[in-house]
Amino acid sequence: MSFSSSLGQALRCCNHRIHWHLMLNLRSQARAISLPLIQHLQRKMSTIASEDVFKGLLTSLPKPAGGGGFGKFYSLPALNDPRIDRLPFSIRILLESAIRNCDNFKVTKDDVEKIIDWESTSPKQTEIPFMPARVLLQDATGVPALVDLASMRDAMKNLGSDPNKINPMVPVDLVIDHSIQVDVARSENALQANMELEFQRNKERFSFLKWGSSAFHNMLVVPPGSGIVHQVNLEYLGRVVFNTNSILYPDSVIGTDSHTPMIDGLGVAGWGVGGIEAEAAMLGQPMNMVLPGVVGFKFYGKLHHGVTATDLVLTVTQMLRKHGVVGKFVEFYGEGMGEISLADRATIANMCPEYGATMAFFPVDHVTLEYLRLTGRSEETVSMIEAYLRANRLFIDYTEPQLERVYSSCLQLDLGCVESCIAGPKRPHDRVPLKYMKVDWHACLDNKVGFKGFGVPKEEQNKVVKFDFHGHNAELQHGSIVIAAITSCTNTSNPSVMLGAGLVAKKAWELELKVKPWIKTSLAPGSRVVTEYLVQSGLQKYLNQLGFHTVGYGCTTCIGNSGDLDDSVASAISENDIIAVAILSGNRNFEGRIHPLTRANYLASPPLVVVYALAGTVDIDFCREPIGKGKNGKSVYLRDIWPSNEEISEVLQTYVLPGIFKSTYKDITKANPIWDQLSVPASTLYSWDPNSTYIHEPPYFKNMAIEPPGLHGIKDAYCLLYFGDGVTTDHVSPPGRIQKDSPAAAYLLQHGMNPKDFNSYSSRRGNDEVMVRGSFSNIRLANNLLNGEVGPKTIHIPTGEKLTVYDAAMRYKASGKDTIILAGADYGTGSSRDWAAKGPLLLGVKAVIAKSFERIHRSNLVGMGIIPLCFKPGEDANTLGLSGHEQYTINLPGKVSEIRPGQDVTITTDTGKSFTCKLRLDTKVEVAYLDHGGILPYVIRNLIK
């Protein structure tokens, strides 16, 4: 292309998106023309890019009582387009963002039209940009995000550009809800002891985060010990409506945790993304996404007495997983909405990743406004929120006639049909009605090994193992509970179920029921607000009596940080092959996640966690069998200790008051004395310590060139791993403890670490050397190359040796050979863990070929430069006769301009097989990301230009 034609193309592009490759072409030919002309062109582009296309829609919002106005807003009604009234509320949020940010550069008028025409465009996999109002980080993902930003600053400096260009462009809320290893559980001082241990283990990364809070602008950091990120977001950080420089707009958030959608219960559009996507959004890049379908979910009727929010959410989870909502929004509505409290809505929204949706949206209504008042938001703020949302048709008033909205598909649920239930033993959507639990448990023992089976021979099912527990006679059977944890933001945001658990504990203690001492019990409230109302109501002391002491504020058992079991318990389980059980009020119960020795894991409401802990087994029918013997040897049944709705409501209305929220969050950023004492340098460039085992400079940007490397095909790659269906991000990048015989442990030992200080993978996400060794180290990994053997190993194809995944990958890299992964359906379900993409990249994986991908993980693979490919419908590795021992060649077009999102790609093997896959680059921007080697190199080069 000549320079004159390049210049002409650039000028034509001024009203559209400007492709980075064009700028590179101009720059490379700049020597042939005058620098002032280039500078003039760049100024022209910048001027057009900042154009406010829809400024004519700006409308003043008066205060209801007069005395001036709240500010101005971009009015959707002013578009005078009847299609808008038919849009789901969640799509209207996307539309408002596109209008407000439309500059005909990052967001174009065509993008706005696509969203308005959602009814026609959404089935067509239409690409749109989205600019979230803010970004939410939590501790485990905040560390690697700041590590990447710090190393990006170094890259900018090395490329001769200003490193301080790397700064958040939108507000960033970082909540240090450190994942608490439950070392100390049954103790009055459990909270203080665990907190001190956490600061001993994590002082280095806490110091790094505190450095980031001052090194990077536009960032709010909530210190450790305040609460779990999602609950703090719900109770404190959620704005619902922003007022920035007198411009009002809806709060929206993307977060580096898959449970970010909990905020959807507050009417704030939010969902989980990988850390790499969040970092790009922080740096002012739009999120390019496929305009989603929206599933309408209608509630009607009323919950029966004794049915909890957890029962409701497990029912909804099962329905939506069966319906199929991956990659879609779910929007709730209907006359039953008035029966569902804000906390219940948040509980349903929190489980969004478990049913696979992107977002689970509850439009703002009067229930939302009352919750804002309850949690201490000022009356003027609530008034502003209501006035703005009503004026912009983003508020739903169920007392008024409803205009019909269009949905991609619809479901409905009679709340009166919801019954008490739990879910498990290995997946959150495998709901079991409580009345059928005993039967279901015995069926699981009988069934062959799988999601609902353990394959235990009949003659082995009733064995009893007796052992000594610190001088007490103890025994275990299949189904015995060894971990009972009230944990996770799913339920600890909800006063009704937390107070319900306290009332169960009170009634049980008064009837002299006790929990067996070898059951590890714990309570991890979502925020200090929970502790306040449990203490003030007098219920915390009864939870303590049963062993449910507060162990900390953050992720615990649900993320695998359940801590060690007592040695005697662990030995009894492992030496006798007992199928032990964990019962928890969390949202994740995937195999191998909760604890290596609990092969069965069930999700339940907090009150049921207490009940099951008292029973000591899941092999029980609560309808007919007693929980245990109480006062005077009398049998105590579930009905004897289950609180009524009226009892729960009375305690809730008496003790859950605005004052608790106001006092808790008044000085939240200065609430931890240990944090306040941390001393950090004031420099904007981080001084990397090469000996650190927590914070390490990653290799992504070393020797980075100014020009992108381009897309390349893959030739004669070996299969590193060959999976079936349902591989989760926990399998790819385990969050829990570092096993003593793992490659990561070997690395830490080489660096002088004592095994007791290994900590968890979640805590070491800032060190790529640890994390790459931890990739695919899950003890429950089922790799088809191992012919049924389960564990974190694979076959090195050229030699036939069985090696750890890390050692095999390094062997391939040393010989200059690329690798791929073969997988089944739903590859990458679970947490939005960026290390599930970063780890495979550093192992040398160039592509993943699967039947289907979970939304976030596919995006993360692209963000790290790994090619996602899908088998054609009806095909997989097995039907194609692939053994995984072949070498694979993936043929990609030679030029980026020849690659289309979703195009077919031919793959051949050295055994003569040939098959076609779909290239899962879903947008043109994703093609550009892969061309640059990932989203972050793309951002760096874009900033430099």
Last residue within a domain, chosen from 646, 663, 680: 663
Answer for the pair 254, 145: CB distance below 8 angstroms, yes or no. no
The verdict on residue 548 lying in a domain is yes
Q: pTM surpassing 0.85?
A: no
Taking the CA atoms of 85, 87, 90 and 91 in sequence, report the sign of the dihedral they define: negative
Of 57-71, 230-244, 473-487, 568-582, least confident by mean pLDDT is 57-71
Domain holding 100, by residue range, is: 55-130
Last residue within a domain, chosen from 130, 147, 164: 130
Same domain, residue pair 411 and 464: no
Peptide bond into 401 cis (omega under 30): no
Same domain, residue pair 328 and 280: yes
Structure tokens at 278: 């969040």
Confidence of residue 703 (pLDDT cuts 50, 70, 90): confident
Q: Of the candidates 331, 323, 199, which has an alpha carbon nearest to the alpha carbon of residue 265?
A: 331
CB count within 10 Å of CB 32 equals 8
What are the residues whose beta carbons fall under 8 Å from the beta carbon of 921, sequence distance 6 or more?
Answer: 862, 867, 868, 899, 901, 902, 927, 930
Question: Quick check: helix, strand or coil at residue 719?
Answer: strand
Render 350-378 in DSSP notation, one character per residue: HTHHHHT-SEEE--B-HHHHHHHHHTT--
How many domains is the chain built from? 4
**Higher per-residue confidence, 496 vs 191:** 496
144-155 pLDDT, tens digit per residue, is: 889 999 999 999
Structure tokens at 388: 């703005």
pLDDT at 241: 98
**∠649-655-659 over CA atoms, to 5°?**
135
The verdict on residue 29 lying in a domain is no
pLDDT at 491: 78
The verdict on residue 745 lying in a domain is no
Same domain, residue pair 66 and 197: no
The verdict on residue 37 lying in a domain is no
Can you tell me the mean pLDDT for 517-523? 95
Q: Of the candidates 418, 425, 267, which has an alpha carbon nearest to the alpha carbon of residue 349?
A: 267
pLDDT at 142: 86
Q: What percent of the chain has pLDDT over 70?
A: 94
pLDDT at 50: 55
Same domain, residue pair 531 and 618: yes
Render 667-682 in DSSP notation, one character per residue: TGGG--HHHHT-----
d(C-alpha 771, C-alpha 430), whole Å? 31
pLDDT at 490: 72
CB count within 10 Å of CB 192 equals 13
Same domain, residue pair 286 and 364: yes
Same domain, residue pair 287 and 179: yes
Can you tell me the mean pLDDT for 27-34? 38
446-476 pLDDT, tens digit per residue, is: 999 999 999 999 999 999 999 999 999 999 9
Same domain, residue pair 67 and 120: yes
Of 456-465, 548-557, 652-661, 807-816, least confident by mean pLDDT is 548-557
Can you tell me the mean pLDDT for 696-709? 91
Q: Are strands 241-244 and 219-222 parallel, antiparallel or unpaired?
A: unpaired
Strand-pairing partners, residue 134, are 253
Q: What percent of the chain has pLDDT over 90?
A: 70
CATH number for position 625: 3.30.499.10
**Higher per-residue confidence, 257 vs 418:** 418
Render 499-515 in DSSP notation, one character per residue: HHHHHHHHHHHHTT---
**∠180-168-60 over CA atoms, to 5°?**
115
Which amino acid belongs to residue 813?
A: K
**Higher per-residue confidence, 893 vs 66:** 893
Same domain, residue pair 375 and 450: no
CATH number for position 862: 3.20.19.10
Alpha helices in 50-162 (DSSP H): 83-86, 89-100, 109-116, 118-121, 139-158
Of 38-42, 398-402, 462-466, 827-831, least confident by mean pLDDT is 38-42
The verdict on residue 549 lying in a domain is yes
Confidence of residue 832 (pLDDT cuts 50, 70, 90): low
- pLDDT of residue 19 exceeding 60: no
pLDDT at 479: 97
pLDDT at 68: 80
pLDDT at 97: 97
Q: Of the candidates 500, 483, 117, which has an alpha carbon nearest to the alpha carbon of residue 308?
A: 500
The verdict on residue 368 lying in a domain is yes
Confidence of residue 181 (pLDDT cuts 50, 70, 90): low
Question: Quick check: helix, strand or coil at residue 772?
Answer: helix
287-300 pLDDT, tens digit per residue, is: 888 899 999 999 99
Q: What is the mean pLDDT of the chain?
A: 90
What are the residues whose beta carbons fall under 8 Å from the beta carbon of 50, sequence distance 6 or more?
Answer: 103
Label residue 649 left, alpha or beta by phi (over 0 means left) and psi (-120 to 50 means alpha). alpha
Confidence of residue 95 (pLDDT cuts 50, 70, 90): very high
Of 175-189, 482-496, 867-881, 897-911, least confident by mean pLDDT is 175-189
The verdict on residue 672 lying in a domain is no
What are the residues whose beta carbons fall under 8 Å from the beta carbon of 532, sequence distance 6 or more?
Answer: 660, 663, 664
**∠558-563-565 over CA atoms, to 5°?**
115
pLDDT at 668: 85
356-374 pLDDT, tens digit per residue, is: 999 999 999 999 999 999 9
Structure tokens at 315: 């029912």
CB count within 10 Å of CB 761 equals 28
**Higher per-residue confidence, 183 vs 865:** 865
Distance separating the N- and C-terminal Cα atoms of the chain: 20
- pLDDT of residue 7 exceeding 50: no
Q: Of the candidates 524, 538, 464, which has an alpha carbon nearest to the alpha carbon of residue 488?
A: 524
480-509 pLDDT, tens digit per residue, is: 999 999 987 777 779 999 999 999 999 999
Can you tell me the mean pLDDT for 533-543? 97
pLDDT at 178: 63
Same domain, residue pair 316 and 284: yes
Last residue within a domain, chosen from 96, 130, 164: 130
Can you tell me the mean pLDDT for 770-783? 93
DSSP state of 408: S
Same domain, residue pair 443 and 589: yes
Same domain, residue pair 728 and 618: no
DSSP state of 519: S
Q: Of the candidates 178, 173, 151, which has an alpha carbon nearest to the alpha carbon of residue 764?
A: 178
**Higher per-residue confidence, 778 vs 191:** 778
The verdict on residue 255 lying in a domain is yes
- pLDDT of residue 225 exceeding 90: no
Question: Quick check: helix, strand or coil at residue 904?
Answer: strand
Quote the radius of gyration of the chain (alpha carbons, Å): 28
Question: Quick check: helix, strand or coil at residue 20?
Answer: helix
Query: Of 175-179, 327-331, 779-783, which has the strongest mean pLDDT?
Result: 327-331
- pLDDT of residue 44 exceeding 70: no
pLDDT at 942: 87
Question: Quick check: helix, strand or coil at residue 581?
Answer: strand
Q: Are strands 465-469 and 472-476 parallel, antiparallel or unpaired?
A: antiparallel
Name the residue with tokens 């190359």: 785
Q: Of the candidates 126, 13, 112, which has an alpha carbon nearest to the alpha carbon of residue 57?
A: 112
pLDDT at 368: 98
Same domain, residue pair 309 and 378: yes
Question: Quick check: helix, strand or coil at residue 272?
Answer: strand
